[in-house]
């Protein structure tokens, strides 16, 4: 007998990302300040994120249209760039090192579902972007992935496993294509 998915039995009550009032307040400010493409003030975005528990270093630029699920699960180092339309779906912790670039419309996804269970159980894992790494435009970083120091995930690629240091990855799934040399 073949089992089937039963979404009626889906249960993620174990997942408690924070106080409900805090979550609602964040959702409203996220819409008004971060996701709002008419709000270009990066420094004010950083202040709001810090107020909600994000740890953010100096010189961080956050462009318009960024969506962050839970700022209290976010840590950003110094001199990072988060491009237009980036979605940080941080159901778990996201650690972004120093001098990291996340280009336009990239997605950092800390959650997925277990397709092997009929109840489609939620799975969450952290993401780490080490110093000098670069997530190309329209790329996706999957749950549990680490981009090692100075690695690059090129445009439109999907990282479903860790990327080696000083290496360039391309495709879906992303494969190492060459070493990164900084002159």
User: What integer pLDDT is reported at residue 1 of this predicted model?
Assistant: 65
Full-model pTM? 0.95
pLDDT (mean) for 140-153:
98
Residue ranges of E strands in 97-166:
101-102, 107-109, 111-113, 122-124, 127-129, 134-135, 140-141, 146-147, 152-153, 158-159
Q: Are 118 and 84 in contact (CB under 8 A)?
A: no
For the segment 33-73, what is each residue's pLDDT rounded down to a tens digit?
999 999 999 999 999 999 999 999 999 999 999 999 999 99
For the segment 85-135, what is each residue's pLDDT rounded down to a tens digit?
999 999 999 999 999 999 999 999 999 999 999 999 999 999 999 999 999
Domains belonging to the chain, first-starting first, are 20-173 (2.160.10.10)
User: What integer pLDDT is reported at residue 3 of this predicted model?
Assistant: 85
């Amino acid at each position: 007998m073949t089992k089937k998915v039963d979404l009626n039995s889906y249960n993620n009550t174990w997942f408690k990302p924070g106080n409900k009032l805090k979550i609602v307040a964040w959702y409203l400010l996220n819409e008004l300040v971060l996701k709002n493409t008419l709000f270009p003030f990066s420094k004010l975005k950083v202040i709001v994120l810090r107020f909600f528990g994000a740890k953010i270093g100096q010189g961080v630029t956050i462009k318009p249209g960024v969506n962050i699920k839970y700022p209290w699960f976010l840590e950003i180092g110094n001199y990072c760039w988060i491009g237009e339309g980036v979605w940080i779906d941080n159901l778990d912790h996201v650690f972004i090192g120093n001098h990291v670039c996340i280009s336009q419309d990239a997605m950092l996804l800390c959650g997925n579902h277990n397709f092997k269970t009929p109840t489609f159980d939620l799975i969450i894992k952290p993401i780490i972007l080490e110093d000098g790494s670069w997530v190309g435009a329209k790329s996706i970083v999957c749950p549990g992935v680490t981009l090692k120091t100075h690695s690059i995930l090129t445009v439109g690629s999907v990282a479903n496993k860790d990327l080696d240091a000083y290496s360039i990855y391309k495709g879906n799934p992303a494969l190492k294509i060459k070493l990164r040399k900084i002159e």
